[in-house]
Amino acid sequence: MNYFPTLPGLDISIVRTTLYSTSIQRHDRALTERRASWWALPRYRYELKFNFLRQAGYQQTYDEVEALTDFFESTRGGMLPFLLVDPVDSVERVVRFDDVGLTIGRFLSHVFESRVVLISLLGEDGEET
């Protein structure tokens, strides 16, 4: 299984959100509620914002734009899972892209930005079973 690419020398902000699946059933007359948890362990959503992606060109040898695009295409968007080292607890997690598209915006010549959302997997494809 592939790892999410390490892109050297970039300004990356990462936000991890912990998710649980919980159902709540409220009974207004009795003023009670029942709760059910559907997952034994949490899932994690990672939002990665790349503020500075370089494209190979004049006096530049790095091509993070191509590396990110090639990796996205190799996983067929959100189809195939891959490994990500969690920046909070350094645990390897099986994740996939949560979006079906990859948006890359250009703000300077040969300089781009992008935002990707990853979601950890449960069950047979992920390590959290």
Residue-wise pLDDT for 68-105, tens only, equals 999 999 999 889 999 999 989 999 999 999 988 888 88
**CATH topology for 12-125?**
Elongation Factor Tu (Ef-tu); domain 3 (2.40.30)
- Given this model, what pLDDT does residue 9 score? 60
What's the average model confidence in pLDDT over 28-54?
A: 86
What's the average model confidence in pLDDT over 113-123?
A: 87
How many Cα atoms within 13 Å fall on the side-chain side of residue 4? Answer: 21
How many Cα atoms within 13 Å fall on the side-chain side of residue 86? Answer: 16
Q: Kindly report the pTM of this predicted structure.
A: 0.78
The answer to whether 92 touches 104, Cβ cutoff 8 Å, is no
Q: What whole-number distance in Å separates Cα of residue 8 and Cα of residue 63?
A: 10
Say whether pLDDT at 127 is over 60: no
What's the average model confidence in pLDDT over 38-67?
A: 82
| More confident position, 46 or 40 | 46
First to last CA, the chain: 18
Say whether pLDDT at 129 is over 50: no
**What residue segments make up the domains of the chain, in order of their start?**
12-125
- Given this model, what pLDDT does residue 123 score? 58
